[in-house]
């Protein structure tokens, strides 16, 4: 399959909110349920893919207006599936338990070419102060030695001081850019952040906050989760410990919304490679409305659009309901709905089914979380709350027994 092409305005509201917050020096919490299209958002923001993109279309230039004054934003992607196993340790050795997280951040930093301390050849040719060249050489040495030192298991102290090695490598990158008057800012994109939360000890996250405090607005974090961080962690002792880290995201939380009409039609256009898609296509229009713009449901329902074209009803709202009913008769849509539901927490699943059965004794905090995630909808404040999108509501009517939640598993590399 050919690489997907993205319109410059792809998810414009979400993308602009994320990049503009980062440009202001804020860490960002990005939240989205299964089937919302998070993977495509990450691909759209991938700076390696965007290299060479014209300034007018590159979101990192288009929405980051402070780069000229504060430096370019350099994105480092961190995937929990790449965590190495914990070091052999005595029970309760928190440094050894946190080592895989620091090792992963350090490794991804070392392989990001834009961060390597390198003397600007123009400065050399112009005969700049040799002191700059000496500084860069020293910083290169620090950068190159950080990861080998961290993984030198003959000296357990190096592993114990993994945080210091990470701090050193970040410091070397930032200083090298500063002395050449070409500042940069580093962003760690942390996908499936729930898996870090269930794998890493509290010390790891408190240490990340210490890095932020040390480097201020030059180091930021973006977490991708299925729920808001306070909702995941809860109100117990762990929240008290992690609050210094969690509060980094209080001013910049982005709930990913389903595709708007423009993005939905662009996705359909990519799916339908054989012919030009018309926005007058009745079946495709019903598909967009019935799927609610959820990427997974939209993709899964596309092959059934011809069947939807046969639906005729004077009331368009009724036609959407008939389209949803038609779609949930299809096996692949049933599986997509199951996947969406099972990716939620048990309390969220029970709340959605409670809304569907018109129960009133439901937790308001969970309702608010689901409204933010577009899995419930409310036309007006204080109005009736309904299950959303229509396809999911139709699936629940056909399957009124709530499924079991499937918790996000620990990374396969990490022992139980």
Residues 140 and 268 in one domain: no
Identify the pLDDT of residue 1: 42
The total of other beta-carbon atoms located within 10 Å of residue 145's CB is: 15
Contact 248, 54 (CB under 8 A): no
406 found inside a domain: no
Query: Which tens digit of pLDDT belongs to each residue from 9-56?
Result: 999 999 999 999 999 999 999 999 988 988 889 999 998 777 766 677
Q: What is the pLDDT of residues 282-330, one digit of tens each?
A: 999 999 999 999 999 999 999 999 999 999 888 989 999 999 999 999 9
Contact 23, 252 (CB under 8 A): no
The winner for highest mean pLDDT among 27-31, 63-67, 125-129, 160-164 is 27-31
Summarised one tens digit per residue, pLDDT across range 31-43 is 999 889 888 899 9
CATH number, domain of 86, equals: 3.40.50.300
The total domain count for the chain is: 2
Find tokens 């961080």 and name the residue: 229
Residue 187 has pLDDT above 70, yes or no: yes
Q: Are residues 246 and 343 in the same domain?
A: no
Q: Are the beta carbons of 173 and 186 closer than 8 angstroms? A: yes
CB atoms within 10 A of CB 284: 25
Nearest to 233 by CA among 274, 188, 190, 202: 202
Q: Are residues 306 and 195 part of one domain? A: no
pLDDT for 415 beyond 80: no
- pLDDT above 70 for 122: no
Q: What is the pLDDT, as a whole number, of residue 123? A: 54
Task: Please tell me whether residues 245 and 285 are part of one structural domain.
Answer: no
Per-residue pLDDT reduced to its tens digit, 203-257: 999 999 999 999 999 999 999 999 999 999 998 999 999 999 999 999 999 999 9
> Has residue 416 been placed in a domain?
no
pLDDT at 121 over 70: no
Stated pTM of the model = 0.91
Pairing of strands 72-78, 184-190: parallel
169 and 282 inside one domain? no
Among 255, 285, 313, identify where a domain stops: 255
- pLDDT confidence tier of residue 278, bands split at 50, 70 and 90: confident
């Amino acid at each position: 399959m050919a690489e997907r092409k993205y319109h410059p305005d792809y998810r414009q509201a979400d993308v602009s909110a994320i990049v503009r917050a980062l440009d202001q020096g804020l860490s960002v919490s990005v939240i989205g349920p299964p089937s919302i299209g998070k993977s495509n958002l990450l691909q759209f923001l991938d700076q390696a893919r965007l290299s060479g993109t014209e300034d007018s279309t590159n979101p990192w230039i288009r929405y980051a207006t402070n780069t000229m004054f504060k430096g370019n934003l350099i994105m480092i992607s961190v995937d929990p599936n790449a965590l190495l196993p914990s070091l052999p340790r005595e029970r309760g050795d928190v440094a050894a338990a946190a080592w895989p997280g620091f090792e992963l951040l350090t490794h991804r930093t070392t392989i990001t070419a834009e961060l390597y301390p390198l003397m600007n050849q123009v400065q050399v040719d112009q005969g700049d102060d040799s002191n700059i060249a000496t500084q860069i050489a020293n910083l290169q040495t620090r950068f190159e030695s950080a990861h080998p030192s961290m993984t030198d298991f003959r000296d357990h102290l190096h592993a114990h001081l993994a945080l210091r090695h990470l701090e050193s490598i970040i410091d070397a990158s930032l200083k090298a850019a500063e002395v050449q008057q070409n500042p940069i800012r580093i962003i760690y994109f942390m996908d499936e952040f729930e898996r870090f939360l269930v794998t890493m000890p509290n010390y790891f996250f408190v240490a990340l906050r210490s890095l932020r405090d040390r480097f201020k607005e030059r180091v930021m974090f973006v977490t991708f989760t299925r729920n808001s961080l306070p909702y995941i962690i809860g109100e117990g002792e762990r929240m008290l410990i992690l609050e210094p880290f969690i509060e980094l995201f209080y001013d910049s939380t982005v709930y990913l919304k389903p595709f708007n009409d423009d993005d939905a039609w662009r996705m359909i256009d990519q799916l339908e490679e054989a012919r030009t898609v018309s926005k007058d296509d009745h079946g495709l229009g019903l598909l967009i409305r019935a799927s609610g713009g959820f990427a997974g449901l939209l993709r899964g329902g596309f092959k059934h659009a011809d069947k939807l074209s046969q639906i005729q009803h004077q009331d368009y709202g009724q036609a959407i309901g008939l389209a949803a009913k038609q779609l949930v008769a299809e096996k692949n849509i049933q599986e997509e709905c199951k996947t969406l539901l099972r990716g939620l927490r048990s309390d969220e699943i029970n709340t959605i089914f409670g809304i569907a059965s018109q129960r009133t004794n439901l937790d308001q905090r969970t309702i608010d979380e689901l409204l933010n995630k577009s899995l419930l909808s409310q036309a007006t404040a204080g109005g009736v709350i309904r299950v959303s999108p229509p396809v999911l509501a139709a699936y629940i009517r056909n399957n009124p027994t709530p499924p079991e939640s499937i918790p996000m598993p620990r990374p396969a590399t990490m022992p139980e």
